[in-house]
Each structure stands twice: as C-alpha cells, then as structure tokens.
Amino acid sequence: MRAYKLNIDSDFEQICRFIAPHKSGAKIMQKKANLNFILIKDIKAVAVNILKQDSLSIGAELVSSHEAIFSGDKLENALLIANDKQIQALAKKELLQDFGLKSLAKFLSNSFKKPKKCEIMAVLNFNNDSFNPSSRVSIDNAISRIEDLISLGVDYIDIGMVSSRPGSEYIGAKAEFQRVSPVVDLIYTNKLYDKVEFSLDSFDVNCLEYALDRGFSFVNDISADPNLAFLAGKYGAKYCLMHKNGDPKTMQIGVKNSDILEIVSGFFAQKLEEIGSSKAKQIYLDIGIGFGKTARDNMALIKHLEHFLSFGYPLLVGASRKSIIDYYSPSSVDERLAGSLYLHQKAIENGASIIRTHDPKEHIQMLKLHNAYKDLEIV
C-alpha cells in the first residue's frame, strides 16, 4: 500500500476516472469534496445559536463569538464551514426558521459553480491618452494588429475610443463617434467580425448602434446604464455590467476602504432587477477593478470573486496593468505584466469567465498552463 497527499484543489472528476467508483456514488461524494467558507455578518445572536445547532446536526461547523450564546438580540458575525452537501441540507433547514435565517437559506441555495473554461478579451485603444501606451493603435495599423490578435486565438477584441483612466474627462459623443466610425467601418469592410467577436467599450448610444449594425456583438458598458442592456437585447448582443464609484475624473480621489462585497453586491442586485428583461444574449458582471476603489478593496474583490457567482451570471475581470499592482509592488505601467498575470490567474481560479487584458499572448500561455495543471491526470 502507498499513500500520497494530493492538492486539495485537484479535479475530483479526474480522480474518479482513475479510481472508477460507481457513478451514483461519485455524484454523492463530489458534494462532500468541496469545502465552503460562508461569512455571515450582522446575524442575531439567537439566530447564531439556532444555526450552530443545525450545523452541528449535519456535521458542519459554525465559528462564532464565545459570547454569542448569551447575547440575545445583539448582532454578531459568524463563519459557516460546510461542504456542498451540507450547504444544501442547511438551506432546507433554515428555510423553516425565523430571525433572518430564511434569507440566509435563499443565499445558500444559490449555485456557486465555476465555469469550466475562461476566455480572453484583448484590448485595443484608438486614443492617445490610454493609461497603457502599448495598447494604443492607429487606424493605419489597425488591420495588422487585429489580425495578429486573431492569429493568437483571442476570443474577443475590445475596442476603446476614450480613456476611462482615473482623472480622465469624457471627450464628448461627437468626438467619440468621429473616432469610432472609421475603425468600425474598417472592421466591417474586411469582415473581421466573422473571425472573432468584437466588443465596443462605450456608453454612447449612437456609437454602440453604429458598431452593432456593423458586426459588433458585445456592449462593454462602464456606465451601468440600463438602456444599453436593452440596446444589446435589441441586437441580440452580449452586455457587460460594470460597477464603479463615481466618474473617471474624480473616482480615485479620497477613496477609503469599505464593505466592498456588500457595496458591489447591492449594486448588482439593483441593476440586474432593472435589466432582467433586456433580452441581451448574455449578461456579464464586471466588479470594476480600479474604478473608485482602494487597493485593498480591489484585492478583496478578486480574492472573494466566487461570491458574485451567486448572481448566476458569468464574471468578467480586468486588472490588466492597473495601479493595484503599483500599490503592492511599486512599478510603472510597463513593468506590471507579472502582477497582471498573477491577479488574473487568481481571478480564473475564483470563477472568472472572461479576462480583459492588454497582454493576450502572455495570458493565453498562462491559461494553457492553468488548464494543463487543472486537468492533470493522476500520476
């Protein structure tokens, strides 16, 4: 007999293919293979006691204050530690309880299933004030740059015409359209939209309609304007809803650490209610790294990205060469490739479906290694 300690993140299905258990047994055991940490804030002490007893009865654990048992109506914080099977059982139990536990039951009933694959969205900026000079493209070399990206195998190309970096000002709809139309015409005339999906990073209706009429299939909206989701639905296009605090000109002035998971969750809940009937082909959620947030809050959003899977929509993450990297490791924009790859790898591990990047070649290589590591057979 030989025994080996395997990585806890090993693919359970891959292990089962090696061992060959009965399919029904494997299905049951898979729910026990994934451990969840659920942080519960502002829960009444009386509810803590109920939840602790219910958790223990099914083999789960609830970490709580040592004073919670005597605290009555006092609000407490707690940590639920449970596998997927226990989460399902606990959701049913708490649905029958009071003291706010019904709302917890609804949250526990959500699916937190991570996507099986992640896609790469490459960035091309047709403006001269993007924070990353290497992403800037002119109309003269647009075709060659786009064809290079297609050859690399990117899934999307995100076209930007105006900068949204901290401190930037919007150039106006007329000026943006003057930049948009020749690039869109070039893509349309050469039928490049048949080779890759194009996204327009814009919140102007006229610019977006012009692009959607000419082969673009993705609305990348940093303004969270519900009307743009309905515009995407009109064209059967995809739509990305992004969170930000304030506008680009002032959003990073005086930012402070916050209860960022609650803030972004509340934002998504409200906006998704507004756009739920938009008929967009697919809605993506973007946590908005660098848009009115501290470095700590940006890091927390990536670390706990899995929380946002609870909304049931795929997640897009773009931390490419942003100032969060400079905060933790002082560096200029052109020195932030390693930091970008690290943050994006963590985002992929935590449930991202699309990575938006200025460095698609390096990210495609990283993704290939990530997939090989994840799918490695038992040795």
Give me the residues paired with residue 119 across strands: 354
Amino acid identity of residue 47, one-letter, is A
The predicted structure's pLDDT at residue 164 = 72
The predicted structure's pLDDT at residue 129 = 63
Domains recognised in the chain with CATH numbers: 12-108 (3.30.1370), 119-374 (3.20.20.20)
Asked if 36 and 84 count as a contact pair (C-beta separation under 8 A), the reply is: yes
The predicted structure's pLDDT at residue 291 = 93
The predicted structure's pLDDT at residue 68 = 78
**Whole-angstrom Cα distance, residue 35 to residue 86?**
10
Contacts of 19 (CB under 8 A, 6+ apart): none
User: DSSP states of 5-67 as a string?
Assistant: ---TTS-HHHHHHHH---HHHHHHHHTTS-EEEEEEEEEEHHHHHHHHHHHHHTT-EEEE-TT
Asked if 265 and 294 count as a contact pair (C-beta separation under 8 A), the reply is: no
Angle at 348 between CA 295 and CA 41, to 5 degrees: 55
Chunk the chain into consecutive blocks of 10 residues (it has 379) and report each block's average pLDDT, rounded to whole numbers. 87 88 90 93 94 97 86 87 96 95 97 95 83 76 95 96 71 84 96 98 94 98 94 97 84 89 97 94 96 96 98 97 97 96 98 98 98 87
Whole-model pTM?
A: 0.93
Contacts of 254 (CB under 8 A, 6+ apart): none
**With b meaning 16 or more CB within 10 Å and e meaning fewer, what string describes 269-299?**
eebbeebeebebeebbbbbbbbbbbbbebbb
**Whole-angstrom Cα distance, residue 227 to residue 322?**
29
The predicted structure's pLDDT at residue 259 = 96
Count helices and strands in the chain by DSSP H and E runs: 14, 11
Tell me which long-range contacts 369-374 makes (C-beta under 8 A, separation of at least 24). Answer: 370/118, 370/345, 371/117, 374/11
The predicted structure's pLDDT at residue 239 = 97
Catalytic residues: 322, 356
